[in-house]
């Protein structure tokens, strides 16, 4: 969804206001009455007019004329004039002379006849406005009867434009009019497609066929013709206001990146009465958080907005464990910061309003339990500070972690095959919390050969941290033989850190020389460094002729080093394996 392509749509209400506020000459009726000669001489190139030819009778004497007169104001908003042409008795021209011609209304653009309408098809204002606009917007609104026709239009739009596909049970209804009026405004931005075939809606993946339905098809993002366009249904009734609201939501950015106080943030979703979900992010997990935000945004499209809120750019006074914030459109209601386990809970949070209160009650109970365990000590709101405060009374087992300084840093890196260094600040709460996890990792890996776990207090040795390009705390780097280093960018839990260090000990991808080694590798028996690693093993098998594929696999291994176990078998007997 490209917001830039919808420039000018926000002025929709303004356009209609201007159109309906065009002054008319004092005493001039919206339904004009002219003679045939006056009517045809008044036609202007490009200007549309709806004409009804009839004998000279009172407008109130004919129900059809009443509806024509009632529709004049609505059609004038779109620059279409409505004229009753009074036919003299002696007139035997095409429009006045034949009896069946008097049972029709004629739509002209300039002096060109666009469409003839039987008067029984124009039974009220909705049917008149809908059918007239439908005839004039034949390029902006395509009518389809088969699934093949719909798919052909969809394929031509892929990579270029989006499609608004609508089913109405019949033409000339209030829903049909609403779609036509929306197409008059948005027809140059989106391709509108209309059908009255209920089965066609079902073939498009929507089982609700009892009433009019609208689907916004995101074709502009699709570059592969074999892939279908993603569809977002409009859940409200088909009125002009609801269509405008839906299309405005579809035109908003999928995910908004926020670098300001969330209390001050205002998006189109909030303006239209929908909530805004903030995904709390930080620099180390930005890419994963962005993917999560986009996934959630697609699930909540049309129900809520999604924003990515950076912790690094804001001093958020919230619990570090909080990963979601919810802002409602209700004025004066504070933002709620919550901790959710997965994306399904985020979606449920929006769809079930009672879920917010339930989550908050659970978090309050959990907080009360933590306070009881801490002998009612006054703990600060930040979860990391809480953890550090609770552990002050016990000394951390840091004897297995070597302290590095400006004097021994470079020499220590050369002592072992692999050196893990935690760069931290002794005054900073997150650093102290990570130091606790790091001590547990050191205890788990104390028997590992060729591995040194170390730490540098950047408060004491800022020169070392500056030379190693450490700009934030905490940072963990893994050095191989004192040279190449990999920065850890995962979670700070003990298990995640341990797995990363174990995997970093082994080449990625690991070259296997025999079929026996390859089979032992898949069983987790080779190499011995990975014997405690519980996650799946990935093995790439290549013949000597597949150099391009092998190089790509090796490049992927370099990127994924420390994150996944990758092995590679490259021998002449690869097919046997």
Exposed e or buried b per residue across 483-508, where buried means at least 16 C-beta atoms within 10 angstroms of its C-beta:
eeebebbeebebeebbbbbbbbbbeb
Residue 521 above 80 pLDDT? no
* pLDDT for the residue 237: 92
For the segment 23-38, the average pLDDT, to the nearest whole number, is 68
User: Which two structure tokens, joined as six digits, stand for 142?
Assistant: 């395509």
pLDDT band at 210 (very low <50, low <70, confident <90, very high): low
What's the rounded Cα separation, in Å, for the pair 43 and 476? 78
For the segment 361-374, the average pLDDT, to the nearest whole number, is 55
What's the rounded Cα separation, in Å, for the pair 146 and 150? 7
pLDDT band at 539 (very low <50, low <70, confident <90, very high): confident
Residue 430 above 90 pLDDT? no
* pLDDT for the residue 81: 92
Residue 250 above 90 pLDDT? yes
Q: What percent of the chain has pLDDT over 90?
A: 33
Q: What percent of the chain has pLDDT over 70?
A: 79
**3-state secondary structure string across 116-180:** EEEHHHCCCHHHHHHHHHHHHCCCCEEECCCHHHHHHHHHHHCCCCCEEEEECCCCCCHHHHHHH
Least confident segment among 33-37, 253-257, 506-510: 506-510
What's the rounded Cα separation, in Å, for the pair 501 and 478? 8
**CA angle centred on 341, ends 339 and 342, rounded to 5°:** 125
Question: Would you say 261 and 314 are in contact if contact means Cβ atoms under 8 Å apart?
Answer: yes
* 523 compared with 162, residue with greater pLDDT: 162
* pLDDT for the residue 10: 42
User: Which two structure tokens, joined as six digits, stand for 323?
Assistant: 């990963």
Q: Burial, 341: exposed, middle or buried (Cβ in 10 Å; 0-12, 13-18, 19+)? A: exposed
pLDDT, tens only, 112-128: 999 999 888 888 999 99
DSSP 8-state code for residue 489:
-
User: Which two structure tokens, joined as six digits, stand for 290?
Assistant: 């962005």
* 305 compared with 202, residue with greater pLDDT: 305
What's the rounded Cα separation, in Å, for the pair 109 and 279? 53
Q: What share of the chain is helix, strand, coil (3-state, %, to 5)?
A: 40, 20, 40
Exposed e or buried b per residue across 2-13, where buried means at least 16 C-beta atoms within 10 angstroms of its C-beta:
eeeebeebeebe
pLDDT, tens only, 543-576: 776 778 888 888 888 878 777 888 887 877 766 6
What are the backbone dihedrals phi and psi of residue 143, each rounded to the nearest 5 degrees, phi first? -100, 130
Q: What is the pTM of this model?
A: 0.58
* pLDDT for the residue 462: 84
* pLDDT for the residue 480: 84
For the segment 202-208, the average pLDDT, to the nearest whole number, is 62
* Positive or negative: CA dihedral 345, 346, 347, 352: positive
* pLDDT for the residue 353: 66
What's the rounded Cα separation, in Å, for the pair 453 and 422? 8
* pLDDT for the residue 303: 92
How much is the mean pLDDT over the chain? 81
Nearest CA to 337 among 345, 353, 326, 328? 326
* pLDDT for the residue 159: 93
* pLDDT for the residue 512: 82
pLDDT band at 24 (very low <50, low <70, confident <90, very high): very low
What's the rounded Cα separation, in Å, for the pair 436 and 396? 7
For the segment 527-532, the average pLDDT, to the nearest whole number, is 69
Residue 79 above 80 pLDDT? yes
For the segment 502-525, the average pLDDT, to the nearest whole number, is 80
* 525 compared with 516, residue with greater pLDDT: 516
* pLDDT for the residue 510: 82
Least confident segment among 269-278, 319-328, 433-442: 319-328
* pLDDT for the residue 577: 67
pLDDT, tens only, 219-243: 999 998 889 999 999 989 999 999 9
Least confident segment among 183-197, 386-400, 438-452: 386-400
* 278 compared with 480, residue with greater pLDDT: 278
What's the rounded Cα separation, in Å, for the pair 574 and 512? 11
Residues 6+ apart with CB under 8 A from 350: 275, 277, 300, 303, 304, 326
Residue 58 above 70 pLDDT? no
* pLDDT for the residue 367: 55
Residues 6+ apart with CB under 8 A from 156: none
Q: Where are the beta strands (DSSP E) in 41-162?
A: 48-55, 80-87, 104-109, 112-118, 141-143
Across 195-199, 387-391, 446-450, the highest mean pLDDT is recorded for 195-199
- The full length of the chain comes to 577
Phi/psi class of residue 302: alpha, beta or left (left: φ > 0; alpha: ψ in -120 to 50)?
left
Least confident segment among 40-44, 190-194, 210-214: 210-214
Residue 60 above 70 pLDDT? no
Domains and CATH numbers, the chain: 33-124 (3.40.30.10), 139-202+209-250 (3.40.30.10), 254-363 (3.40.30.10), 391-504 (3.40.30.10), 510-570 (no CATH)
């Amino acid at each position: 969804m490209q917001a830039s392509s919808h420039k000018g749509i926000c002025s929709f209400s303004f356009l209609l206001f201007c159109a309906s506020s065009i002054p008319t000459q004092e005493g001039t009726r919206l339904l004009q009455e002219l003679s045939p000669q006056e009517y045809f001489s008044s036609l202007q190139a490009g200007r549309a007019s709806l004409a009804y030819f009839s004998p000279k009778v009172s407008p109130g004497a004919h129900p059809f004329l009443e509806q024509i007169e009632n529709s004049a104001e609505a059609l004038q908003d779109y620059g279409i004039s409505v004229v009753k042409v009074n036919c003299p008795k002696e007139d035997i021209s095409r429009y006045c002379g034949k009896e069946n011609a008097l049972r029709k209304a004629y739509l002209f653009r300039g002096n060109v006849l666009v469409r003839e309408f039987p008067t029984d098809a124009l039974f009220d204002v909705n049917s008149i406005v809908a059918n007239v606009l439908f005839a004039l917007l034949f390029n902006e609104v395509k009518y389809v009867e088969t699934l093949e026709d719909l798919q052909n239009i969809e394929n031509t739009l892929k990579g270029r434009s989006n499609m608004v596909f609508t089913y109405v049970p019949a033409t000339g209804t209030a829903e049909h009019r609403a779609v036509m009026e929306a197409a008059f405004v948005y027809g140059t931005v989106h391709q509108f497609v209309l059908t009255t075939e209920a089965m066609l809606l079902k073939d498009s993946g929507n089982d609700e066929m009892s009433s009019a339905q609208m689907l916004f098809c995101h074709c502009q993002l699709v570059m592969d013709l074999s892939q279908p366009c993603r569809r977002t249904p409009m859940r409200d009734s088909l009125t002009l206001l609801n269509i405008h609201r839906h299309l405005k939501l579809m035109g908003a950015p999928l995910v908004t990146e926020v670098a300001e106080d969330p209390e001050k943030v205002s998006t189109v979703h909030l303006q239209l009465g929908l909530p805004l979900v903030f995904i709390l992010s930080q620099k180390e997990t930005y890419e994963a958080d962005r993917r999560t935000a986009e996934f959630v945004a697609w699930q909540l499209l049309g129900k809520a907005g999604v924003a990515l809120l950076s912790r690094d750019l804001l001093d958020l006074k919230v619990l570090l464990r909080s990963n979601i914030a919810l802002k409602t459109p209700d004025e004066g209601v504070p933002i709620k910061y919550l901790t959710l386990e997965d994306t399904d809970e985020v979606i449920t949070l929006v769809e079930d309003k009672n879920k917010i209160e339930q989550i908050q009650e659970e978090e309050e109970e959990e907080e009360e339990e933590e306070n009881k365990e801490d002998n009612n000590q006054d703990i600060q709101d930040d979860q990391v500070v809480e953890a550090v405060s609770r552990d002050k009374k016990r000394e951390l087992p840091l004897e297995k972690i070597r302290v590095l300084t400006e004097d021994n840093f470079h020499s220590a890196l050369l002592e072992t095959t692999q050196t893990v260094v935690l760069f931290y600040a002794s005054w900073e709460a997150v650093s102290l919390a990570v130091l606790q996890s790091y001590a547990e990792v050191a205890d788990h890996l104390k028997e590992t050969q060729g591995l040194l776990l170390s730490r540098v207090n950047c408060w004491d040795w800022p020169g070392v941290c500056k030379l190693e390009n450490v700009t934030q705390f905490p940072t963990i780097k893994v050095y191989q033989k004192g040279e190449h280093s990999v920065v850890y960018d995962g979670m700070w839990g003990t298990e995640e850190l341990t797995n990363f260090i174990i995997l970093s000990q082994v080449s990625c991808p690991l070259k296997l020389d025999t079929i026996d080694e390859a089979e032992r590798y898949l069983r987790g028996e080779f190499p011995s460094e990975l014997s405690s690693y519980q996650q799946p093993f990935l093995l790439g098998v290549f013949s000597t002729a597949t150099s391009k594929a092998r190089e790509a696999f090796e490049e992927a291994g370099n990127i994924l080093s420390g994150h996944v176990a990758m092995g590679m078998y490259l021998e002449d007997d690869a097919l046997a394996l």
